[in-house]
Structure 1
Amino acid sequence: MKLGIFSIEELMQTPLCMMTGEQFAFLASNLSLISDQANKNKVEAEKPKHLVYGIKGIADTFGCSIPTANRIKRSGIIDGAITQVGRKIVIDADLALELAAKAKKQGKEVCA
């Protein structure tokens, strides 16, 4: 976040003994912005991901059969929630459900 001539991120990385008086005064005057940003980052980091694995994980998440889970994966609707390396598939279940709901609102068919 850049305010004025200083970047808060840069100043946060600068040792206190290396700051000028102007930089320190700027940092002190924007303390509320810094604490708000730190709280936001902390809340985002605390939310644990609900991960499921494989086609069976997709089937369990959507409450469907294995063939339907394969169709959902192949449709590309939940690609943002899938990480695949070789044959290993890891799915962020919450994100997959969000993406499927968004696609359904847009009129796309999630599973046939």
Structure 2
Amino acid sequence: MKRIDSKTPLLNLTVEEFLEVSKKLTADENYAHGLKGLAKFLGCSRSKASEIKSSGILDEAIIQKGNLIIIDKKKALELLRK
């Protein structure tokens, strides 16, 4: 499929092109980024999100390299249910 320019108006996209763009956007919604993203996902403050992260409950759902934190939302929900 052709590369879609970010300045292309939505009205000029075909249904197939629009669906391709939509899939890319929803794929990123499976992850939260940073403590701010974790806090938003959990619906709590950043300090509470930091406490939860530090507790080790979500270790299997978190990938961290230095200050970069990525949380797999689906896995985090499974771990919180336990």
Which bracket does the TM-score occupy, shorter chain normalised? 0.5 to 0.7
- Alpha-carbon RMSD across the aligned residues, in angstroms, is 1.2
Please list every run of 5 or more consecutive structure 2 residues that lacks an aligned counterpart in the other structure: 1-26
CA drift of 1:97 comes to 1.3
> What is the rounded CA distance, in whole Å, between the counterparts of 2:71 and 2:81 in structure 1?
16
Distance in 1 (CA, whole Å) between partners of 2:50 and 2:41 is 13
CA-to-aligned-CA distance 1:28-62 (integer Å, 9 cap, x gap):
xxxxxxxxxxxxxxxxxxxx570110001110111
Quote the residue 1:69 is aligned against: 49
Q: Which residue of 2 aligns with 1:52?
A: 32
* Equivalent residues in 2 for 1:13-92, closer than 5 Å: 48=27, 50-92=30-72
What one-letter code is carried by the residue in structure 2 that aligns with 1:74? Answer: S
The yes-or-no answer on 1:101 pairing with 2:76 is no
User: Quick one: percent identity of the two aligned structures?
Assistant: 47
Match in the other structure for 2:8: none
**Letter matched to residue 56 of structure 1:** K
Distance 1:76 1:59 in 2: 16
What's 1:36 paired with?
Answer: none
SS at match of 2:64: strand
**Is there any run of 5+ residues in structure 1 with no aligned partner, and where?**
1-47, 103-112
Count of aligned pairs: 55
